[in-house]
Chains A and B, each alone.
Chain A
Amino acid sequence: MSNSTKNGPVIEFREVAYRIAGGQELLNGLNLQVQRGETLVLLGRSGSGKTTTLKLINDLVSPSEGEVLVEGRATTQWDPIRLRRGIGYVIQDAGLFPHFTVERNVALVPRIEEWPPDRIRKRVAELLQLVGLDAGLATRYPRELSGGQRQRVGVARGLAADPPILLMDEPFGALDPITRAELQREFLALQQRLQKTVVFVTHDLHEALLLGTRIALMEAGRLVVMLSSSEFTKSSDPLVQKYLDAFGARSNGNRS
């Protein structure tokens, strides 16, 4: 997916609606663009449509109306397998394969892309180092790791084939606060180096402010506002205010 225009948005939603089989609407009239190299955070509570938005990007679900463009091409026009292999996917609790070792989990996409074994081995070693995991863990199984280690493996797996886009669905949601803070810091450092286009789902405002280039606040299947992190804390939008209150992050002077 490298031969497309370098200037346009990497991901674009045009008037996207998504309804499930029973007719219930999970997303409506969604318009948004993700620029190359930015981290767009989708912030919202459970059921606001964040995860669905993410799954529309790698075509795990298809829009009922409108279209989602990745590198200028509608997801429905992509071969879904090719599209997904060019997009890293990291989910809560890592979704690691319990019957694969750390090494095989990380090597998942390179293996199905049939890289030569030498190159896979080198890449896995490189990735484990990148996410701060000891090389000795390579032969362990996911159940033998701590939550933080599992999540690092999940990130390494998402980065394995060096995809330009990374989708992260509450990747640090199930971690204890200290490990979470640690992984957030490392994510920032990593992102500074790799400059991936990242779409990051969270319900945690602090995480959104810390990691996001821009924050898209979602509620009941709609996009409420999309602002840079610094604009976000100053916004007078009532829902934004509610979030700032809930997280004790109000910074516009009327703190009691």
Chain B
Amino acid sequence: MNVFQFIAQNHAEVLELTLEHLWMVAASTVLAVLIGIPLGILITRKPGWDKPVLGGANIIQTVPSLALFGFLLPVPWIGARSDRLAILALMLYALLPLIRNTYAGINGVDRSVVEAGRGMGMTDRQLLFQVELPLALGVIIAGVRVATVISVGLATIAAAIGAGGLGEYIFRGLAMVNNQLILAGAIPAAALALLADVTLGWLEKRLSPI
């Protein structure tokens, strides 16, 4: 039986695992956007905050994902349900590209444009929302894109702590030494990653101001 026949025969289960997978990725990315972008903005405003915040996000990124899941297990409420735990871990991994791209995007805005705005009496808030964020938007969306694609891949490991998702097939396949089963998880996951990449790439182009 080849992998596509397997997927066709088990389409209900494949669909369920795909939806679980999507849920983990979407929830964690939305949370990361809500935290990462404001944090990225904040560190462009507070001199001296950029290095520790980016450094912290960088360190999180270096923790092996399986270990991170393990570390988070004893956390109350979070550790009680594996999907919560997976979402938190994925969110933490998504933070770095979001903070870094927001920070780089805003700092990359032509200084003379910002200074012209300030010199003509724009307030900080007006500068941020009318000039800096619109001009940085392409770079910020690129960060969301990277974070999402990484997240789709990482979410397969969440199956190791029983959070479900397409990783289920991969781990089951590994345990049974069954390549078909591994592919049944890997192919839909790769398709999801591609889909996310293309969609956000299109958005990035659409929203780039220049």
A residues with a Cβ closer than 8 A to B are 55, 58, 60, 80-85, 87-89, 91-99, 108-109, 112, 143, 157-158, 167
Contacts and interface: CB of A to CB of B under 8 A. Distances in A.
Nearest to B113: A95
Contacts of A95: 110, 112-113, 115-116
Interface residues of B, number: 18
Contacts of A108: 117, 120, 122
11 contacts: A55-B119, A58-B119, A60-B119, A81-B123, A89-B116, A89-B119, A94-B116, A96-B113, A96-B116, A99-B209, A112-B123
A109 B118 CA distance: 11
A89 B113 CA distance: 12
Given A83-B121, A108-B120, 4 more contacts: A84-B119, A85-B121, A95-B110, A99-B135
A59 B159 CA distance: 58
B120 A93 contact: no
A99 B134 contact: yes
A58 B117 CA distance: 12
B41 to A, nearest CB: 18
B176 interface: no
A98 B120 contact: no
B31 interface: no
A109 B121 contact: yes
Given A81-B123, A98-B209, A112-B126, A93 B118 contact: no
A84 B112 contact: no
